[in-house]
Structure 1
Amino acid sequence: MHHLPPASENTARPSPGHPRKTPAPRLVQALPGLLLCLLLGALCMIASQFFNGLSALLLAILLGALWRNIAPVPAALAPGTAIAAKQLLRLGIVLLGLQLSLGTILGLGPGVLLVVLASVGATFFATLWIGKRLGMDAQQRLLIATGFSICGAAAVAGTENVIKAKQEQVATAIGLVVLFGTLMIPAMPALGLLLGLDERGIGMLIGASTHEVAQVVAAGGSVGAGALVVAVTVKLARVVLLAPIIAGVGLCMRRKHSVQGGKNPPLVPLFVLGFLAAMLLRTTGILPESLLSAASTVQTLLLSAAMFALGLGVHLRSIVKSGGRSLLLGLLGTLVIIVVAACGTILFPPA
């Protein structure tokens, strides 16, 4: 009675009374956290209707971060929040492609597109270089560089999937995006007025500099409808660069791992290909507006749920523990993109 058969014998010939294990228990464990993220994401969507200038995504990040830093998060939620922070985020990014059209992006004109490329490129490489000078490791530098140059938390999470960063590194990068991006909501319109820009010019400045899509909406909406349209369009042009940046990071990681003998990370993650495919599908014009509207709602829900889950990982202590280097890199990266965007807006104002 004390000598049980080896596990291999039981699994080799499963009987009707002892069925083979399935992933179902894992899904059951994930349900509480997953449903909570979706529920709070939906509530943030509703609440955003009553907070002028605050989007559901930003509210969700702030709510998650607030919970994480003032009260303990039950361990039972961890499996579900992990799915929300990765799988739901990837689906949301794919659906985000349906909100972009190549015609709209190209319609910005060559001058504005040049400013977009300069803002993303200069911020990405300058942040990497500054971070290296500060003695920070490559993974932390890459997370902050992509988050600040492209589209905030979504870019951080997308990069994390390629470089396999530590959770505290991801939390630090997202925390910096929330901190500095939130400060830019009132600062960018004020800077635009100081520079003597018109409403559309302020919108371009906001879209070319502000870290998070949600923060762009908040800042642009505070200026006016004209600024909001330009700001979002310019910001989405930066979002398009998520694909080539992550592909480039993936290529560098593949080369590095091939030398070290590790498992090669994907060159281009599937969700990035899905994002590009969705954007091309939108460009064809065959999708009805009703479908695009529904997709936009689902996309906002998925990204809000993911942002709440990511917010739960924003522990202020982790930013403090990382020392002043992370905060300094966040500040300098923010200043780089503001200077490039401001100079570009003055030289190539929107038509």
Structure 2
Amino acid sequence: MLATARPSTASPTPAPARLPGLLLAGAAGGTALAVQSAVPALGATLVAVALGLVAATSGRLPEAARPGLATASRDVLRVGVALLGLQLVLDDVVALGWPLVAVVVGVVGLGITGTLAIGRLLGVPPEQALLVACGFSICGAAAVAALDGVRRSRAEDVARVVALVVVCGSAAMLAVPLVGAALGLPATSTAAWAGASVHEVGQVVVAGGLLGGAALEVAVAVKLGRVLLLAPVLAVLSVRAPATPGVRRPPLVPGFVVVFVGLVVVRATVPLPEGLLAAAGAVQAAALAAAMFALGCSLDPGALRRTGRPLVLLALAATGLVALLGLPAAYVVAG
């Protein structure tokens, strides 16, 4: 079973033993991307996690695939997160204006602290609450799994929260455009709200696409502003990670976070060919899709049924909190 803690003291798995699981994750990730291409409303993350859950609940997941799936949920995921750095265009974020940038910072900072406070009131274990707080406030499943890279959370907790990110983020993806229309907000204002409050990058793209016109660019730019804060948040949480006897403490700044920041700087300072950016974007999307499938596979069906009401309530509360914190973005743009 993959739903266990992953200490760093485990012996490395030989590369040939990882190959079946990596191939399975790659095939499932490719399927998820193909489905997204055919039906854009079905994001690759949603499809990949769903495929992983189906594989986990079927009871037919080959034992030989498990080492490779563990690698995909950890190392392949880190590749995907690191390559997110090339999607960030700092000039686009700064061009939003400092008031909107301040809203983005508030969404992440207050979203995390507020979710942790609500988690304490609901009695949610602190590590689970932190996964929800970061995933819902920053960039969804990628943030959840990236946090796992610096905190070594339980695999089943990571998979539970990823599933909740997909469900709640998909609901927000559809709700924000509808509520924005009901409030009489212009499309670009609603797009800014979506970028500031919807969980996944892919979900924000769908929400912006529903609004049409220039709204998509606004939504993505605001969302990438939140993604930009992933590195400093991870660095702070890595420093504050509790030490576990007998387990090597993770580095203060994980390597994939360093690469993420480095690629942000490269994108901001070096003219890169469009072909290279497109290729990197394709690899990043494929890596995240494969990793999300592996995370779905890591969820024990019994653990999914045992997902307690407090954790579900925290996910719903975090979605509402981030939506409220992000709403000022709409009025900053409108103003």
Same fold (TM over 0.5): yes
Q: Which structure: larger Rg?
A: 1
Residues 238-259 of structure 1: CA deviation (Å, up to 9, x unaligned): 0111001111111111xx429x
Post-superposition offset of 1:284: 1.2
Partner of 1:339: 324
Residue 153 (structure 2) pairs with residue 153 (structure 1): no
Output the CA distance in 1 between the equivalents of 2:301 and 2:169. Answer: 16
Match of 2:262 among 277, 284, 291: 277
Match of 1:210 among 186, 198, 203: 198
Residue 184 (structure 2) pairs with residue 193 (structure 1): no
Output the CA distance in 1 between the equivalents of 2:247 and 2:75. Answer: 24
Output the CA distance in 2 between the equivalents of 1:69 and 1:218. Answer: 29
Partner of 1:349: 333
Counterpart AA for 2:72: A
Residue 220 (structure 2) pairs with residue 236 (structure 1): no
Unpaired segments of 5 or more residues in structure 1?
Answer: 1-21
Aligned 8 A contact 1:171 1:318 in 2: no
Partner of 1:257: 243
Partner of 2:308: 323
Post-superposition offset of 1:147: 0.6
Post-superposition offset of 1:204: 0.8
Output the CA distance in 2 between the equivalents of 1:298 and 1:160. Answer: 21
Aligned residue pairs, count = 325
Partner of 2:83: 95
Residue 101 (structure 2) pairs with residue 113 (structure 1): yes
Match of 2:74 among 83, 86, 90: 86
Output the CA distance in 2 between the equivalents of 1:142 and 1:129. Answer: 10
Aligned 8 A contact 2:141 2:200 in 1: yes
Aligned 8 A contact 1:101 1:280 in 2: no
Partner of 2:18: 30
Going from structure 1 to structure 2, the CA distance change for 1:50 and 1:163 (only over 3 Å counts) comes to same
3-state secondary structure, aligned to 2:39: coil
Match of 1:307 among 292, 303, 310: 292
Post-superposition offset of 1:317: 4.2
Residues 270-298 of structure 1: CA deviation (Å, up to 9, x unaligned): 10110010011011132111111111111
Aligned 8 A contact 1:54 1:214 in 2: no
Output the CA distance in 1 between the equivalents of 2:247 and 2:66. Answer: 28
Match of 2:281 among 296, 316, 321: 296
Unpaired segments of 5 or more residues in structure 2?
Answer: 1-10
Aligned 8 A contact 1:112 1:350 in 2: no
Post-superposition offset of 1:69: 3.2
